[in-house]
Structure 1
Amino acid sequence: MSEAKVYTSLQNVRTAAANQEKKTVFKHVLASPFILKWPTIHTDLGQTILDQLLKTVEPLGKYKSQCRAEKKKRKKNEPVELIEPELRQRTFIGINQVTRYLEAYIENERANPKSKTDRTPVMYICKREIKPLQLCQHLLYMSALAKIKVAPMPANAENRIGKALGIQRASVVLLEIMENKEESLRLSARDLPLVEAPWLENALTRNINYIGDTTKTLMTTVPIVKKNQQQSQKNDLKRKSEVDDSANENAKKLKQSN
């Protein structure tokens, strides 16, 4: 019987693993052809768009603060008149609101493909702060279907956008930009790339064509296990399995006798 190795500390385990002989192996992995990647933009452009967005939505935050103050004045029976910013009707905040908007937008585009509008929807997303990212992954596919541009925001933008809107944080904001109103955002949106998903568009408009497999090869290392050592490990596992089975059988007999 081979002697069991005893490690006195975690460092010894790591040292033993590092000193173990390894060999290079190649593993083949099938990659899905239906994966979309989030668009990337230059850091300076992202910061410029964020500053423009904060300046644009700032009136919405002030209006929200005024609404809170109005509630207090109503209790004192003081008349208050507030004018709602027109931009509020073209702003959609949060994953749920943006999802519902995109659903309606895609449905309307399919029903009226030749319809024209003076509004250009653009989605601003703080994907760095969204944990896990799968919470908003569907927005990427929906924006590709709707052909809506997506602007990834710089780090720590979630709290800044939320503060400008008068809320705690905002991970996703979609604005329907109008010409001669949000001109700076409209011009910046020209530099944003569209999310390309030709296979998704073809599935809706054309006959589906076969897409071949994409195979990736990963180079990695595995420890070299000698035949004697490998046989010893198998014997140890077999003995452990026999001991576990015996213990379970004894437990059943003891339970039946009681």
Structure 2
Amino acid sequence: MTSKPTKRSATVALDASLQNYNKNQIIRAKAPDRRQVFRHVLGTPFVTDWSYPSDAQQKSILTEFCSCASSVGVHRRKLQQQHKSKAHKLKKNDTSTDIEQKDSLVDISTALAPLEDLVVGINDVTKVLEGMIAHKAHLEASKADKQILNKSKKTAQSMPITDALAVPVTQLGCIFVCRGDMPVAHTYSHLPTMAAICSDRFWICAFSAGAEKTLALALGLKRVSVLGIKADSLRFEMVHKLIQQACNKVHIPWLQNPTKVSYLPTNIRAIKTVGLIKTRNTRVTAKSAMSTPQPTVVDTVNKDKQTISLKRSVDELDKYRSKNMPDLASTVDALAKNTTVADSDTDHKKTKINHQH
């Protein structure tokens, strides 16, 4: 005997067949065709030109940097593995962990030593550059004060100048910027101007796409978009030399001589963008859609509900007046009659006066 299929199993089978049908019968709207468009924009003299090293020079700089800082990435990856298997090791042997911890303290200090000469992250690099600019401004102000004191022949005790306190904690010598891996330009466009303000011997090395991944692997991080190396670093001395050979100094003409103003010729740039393909049919349909007024949609259901509620409120008000205020209704009717009688009397008197005259 074969059992009859229940109603529930039939509905489940129907739902499954409908899902398969919908998967196979999906109708997607075709994306509009696009074409390349060149838009002309006026150039600005405040845009700085970045110096890109060649591919071979970029490779040599990255390999030298990774050889100096690879211990940081190795140590951080080991830490991640240790955190994953920490509970398992503690269950097996507790005495071996103490010996490993004593040995690891020495390894940590040697592995993380390159981080003392580095500043990682665009925010941290910007803060260090701001400190360098403030230090330079303080030194220039102190020199001007000394000149004023020498001219006025006053002692230095009357206006003490503390140059030692103005020395910042960190002084950067070069910056790595992974421009090829950063699609938004305004996040790093301030770096060349700040570097030019800091000092004349400041270098910026811009890398093409793919450099961010190698730097992140070397330092054991997810992303490294901007990186700064200290000027007095002996560990990265070879990296400084390679950057000075491959890159040019940041040149900003309007910053060096702000008093010597000269008008530059008009520079028109062509920006390559993407636009829709406009045909005659699309233009006609767009114009017809704009010319034809859209019909006003009336919500009949809500309108009927409002009328019903209004009728109910009127009926309830009449019932309340008939029960609780019968005298008021009679007085209102009497007042209305009296006003009509008074109006008729005044009209009659006016007509008599007119006849007499």
TM-score (norm 2): 0.49
Secondary structure (helix, strand or coil) at the match of 2:293 reads helix
- Tell me the matched-pair count: 226
Q: Does 1:103 align with 2:158?
A: no
Query: Which structure has the higher relative contact order (CA within 8 Å, separation 6+)?
Result: 1
Q: In the alignment, does 2:86 pair up with 1:34?
A: no
Deviates more, 1:120-129 or 1:75-84: 75-84
Cα distance between partner residues in 2 of 1:155 and 1:56? 22
Q: CA deviation at 1:216?
A: 1.9
| Closer/same/farther in 2, CA of residues 31 and 51 from structure 1, 3 Å limit | same
Match in the other structure for 1:123 = 175
Query: For the residues of structure 2 that align with 1:144 and 1:255, how far apart are their CA atoms?
Result: 70
Query: Which structure shows the higher helix fraction?
Result: 2
Rounded to whole Å, the distance in 1 between the matches of 2:289 and 2:242 is: 68
CA contact (8 A) 1:95 1:172 kept: yes
Return the offset for 1:169.
2.9
Partner of 1:139: 191
Higher mean C-alpha displacement, 96-105 vs 107-116: 107-116
Deviates more, 1:96-105 or 1:181-190: 181-190
Q: Measure how far apart 1:238 and its partner are.
A: 6.9
Corresponding position of 1:196: 251
8 Å contact kept, 1:58–1:164: yes
Are the structure 2 counterparts of residues 242 and 70 from structure 1 closer, same or farther at C-alpha, using a change threshold of 3 Å? closer
Cα distance change of structure 1 residues 154 and 233 upon mapping to structure 2, 3 Å threshold: closer
Cα distance in 2 for residues equivalent to 1:112 and 1:86:
31
Give the 3-state SS of the residue equivalent to 1:207 in structure 2.
coil
The range that moved more, 116-125 or 158-167, is 116-125
**Structure 1 residues 139 and 28, CA gap change in structure 2 (3 angstroms):** closer
Question: Which stretch shows the higher mean deviation, 175-184 or 98-107?
Answer: 175-184
Q: Does the CA-based 8 Å contact 1:33-1:213 persist in structure 2?
A: no
* Cα distance change of structure 1 residues 48 and 217 upon mapping to structure 2, 3 Å threshold: closer
Aligned to 1:183: 237
CA deviation profile, 1:180-219 (whole Å, cap 9, x unmatched): 54331122122211121122344xxx4373644624276x
User: If the length of structure 1 is used for normalisation, what is the TM-score?
Assistant: 0.65
State how far apart, in whole Å, the 2-side matches of 1:213 and 1:233 are: 43
Contact 2:132 2:171 in 1 (8 A): no
Structure 1, 167-176 or 63-72: larger mean CA deviation: 63-72
- Measured at CA, do residues 216 and 253 of structure 1 come closer, stay the same or move farther in structure 2, by a change above 3 Å? same
Question: 1:143–1:252: structure 2 CA closer, same or farther, 3 Å change rule?
Answer: farther
- Which of 58, 61, 65 is matched with 1:46 structurally? 58
Matched residue SS, 2:180: coil
Q: 1: CA distance between counterparts of 2:98 and 2:299?
A: 80
Q: Which amino acid aligns with 2:133?
A: I
Query: Partners in 2 of 1:253 and 1:208 — Cα distance?
Result: 71
- Aligned counterpart for 2:218 among listed residues 150, 164, 174: 164
Note the aligned Cα RMSD (angstroms). Answer: 4.6
Residue type of the partner of 1:124? Answer: F
2:209 pairs with one of 151, 155, 158? 155
Residue 59 of structure 1 corresponds to which residue in structure 2? 71
* Alignment match, 1:23: none
Q: Which amino acid aligns with 1:44?
A: A
Alignment partner, residue 3 of structure 1: none
Stretches of structure 1 that go unaligned for 5 or more consecutive residues are 1-8, 19-25
Residues 255 and 142 of structure 1: is their aligned pair in 2 closer, same or farther, counting only changes over 3 Å?
A: farther
Give me the identity figure in percent. Answer: 19
SS at match of 1:112: helix
Equivalent AA in structure 1 for residue 115 of structure 2: R
> Deviations for 1:103-160, whole angstroms, at most 9, x for unmatched residues?
1122222222599999661111221112323322222332233342111224322122
**8 Å contact from structure 1 (residues 31, 215) kept in 2:** yes
The structure with more radius of gyration: 2
Q: Structure 2: give runs of 5+ residues left out of the alignment.
A: 1-28, 144-162, 307-357
CA distance, structure 2, for counterparts of residue 58 and residue 199 of structure 1? 40
